[in-house]
């Protein structure tokens, strides 16, 4: 049986959750399956520090109830990561950290981020600071669009393309999509920028697969 990777969207958006599942679907294998769920009582989007702190407890409680071989917090500001890690010995991955690691692994000396809103900047900078890589951030371009607009297959494309071009012009050698709601727009951003674009759902999915395979190799997989 494939190991279970539980992917938790900490917001309540159905379209965002469906986009995360679609991004991860091609990565399912004999080694692991991805179960994507949402916090039905969560905010429509994690758009503020208040939202960021509010979802930590519910994320932790969900992980305590749901057994899995690995967990992914499906928000690109990594809310509740430490609280969830305290609740389980299994690997718990944050999408922002995985996306940054993927950008650096591609050989990018400097990377840019397409952010959700202006308010996301401080939360994502804190992640970069904790990783010791803030100096490698070349630029940060917010979209300032509602979640349901971001997840539309057409509506945000012009704004995403403009942000991607601006980051590339500013020296970004790779671009991170800074919201899980952007999962369906990676190809459009890459076409506009002409540099590699890291989609965080897939970056976290790849890291989860690695964790599951490592656990199988050592005989410590959970489910």
- Taking only the tens place, the pLDDT of each residue in 91-111 is 999 999 999 999 999 999 999
DSSP state, residue 78: -
Strand (E) or helix (H) holding 7: strand 3-9
Q: How confident is the model at residue 217 (pLDDT cuts 50, 70, 90)?
A: low
The closest of 213, 203, 220, 214 to 96, measured between CA atoms, is 203
* Residue that the structure tokens 């679609």 belong to: 22
pLDDT value for 223: 62
Mean pLDDT of 42-46: 96
Domains of the chain: 3-94+202-218 (3.40.50.12500), 96-200 (3.40.50.12500)
pLDDT value for 204: 98
The closest of 179, 130, 133, 138 to 159, measured between CA atoms, is 179
Mean pLDDT of 36-61: 97
């Amino acid at each position: 049986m494939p190991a279970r990777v539980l992917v938790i969207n900490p917001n309540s958006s159905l379209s965002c959750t469906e986009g995360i599942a679609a991004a991860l679907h091609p990565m399912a294998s004999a080694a692991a399956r991805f179960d994507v769920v949402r916090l039905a009582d969560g905010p429509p989007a994690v758009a503020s520090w208040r939202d960021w702190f509010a979802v930590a407890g519910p994320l932790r409680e969900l992980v305590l109830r749901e057994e899995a071989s690995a967990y992914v917090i499906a928000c690109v500001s990594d809310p509740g990561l430490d609280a969830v890690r305290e609740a389980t010995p299994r690997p718990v991955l944050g999408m922002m950290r995985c996306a940054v690691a993927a950008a650096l692994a591609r050989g990018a000396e400097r990377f840019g981020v397409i952010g959700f809103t202006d308010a996301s900047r401080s939360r994502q900078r804190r992640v970069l600071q904790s990783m010791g890589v803030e100096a490698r951030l070349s630029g940060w371009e917010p979209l300032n669009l509602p979640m349901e607009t971001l997840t539309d297959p057409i509506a945000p494309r012009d704004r995403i393309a403009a942000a991607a071009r601006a980051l590339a012009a500013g020296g970004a050698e790779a671009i991170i999509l800074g919201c899980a709601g952007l999962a369906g727009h990676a190809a459009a951003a890459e076409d506009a920028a002409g540099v590699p674009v890291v989609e965080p759902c897939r970056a976290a999915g790849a890291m989860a697969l690695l964790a599951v395979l490592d656990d199988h190799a050592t005989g410590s997989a959970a489910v």
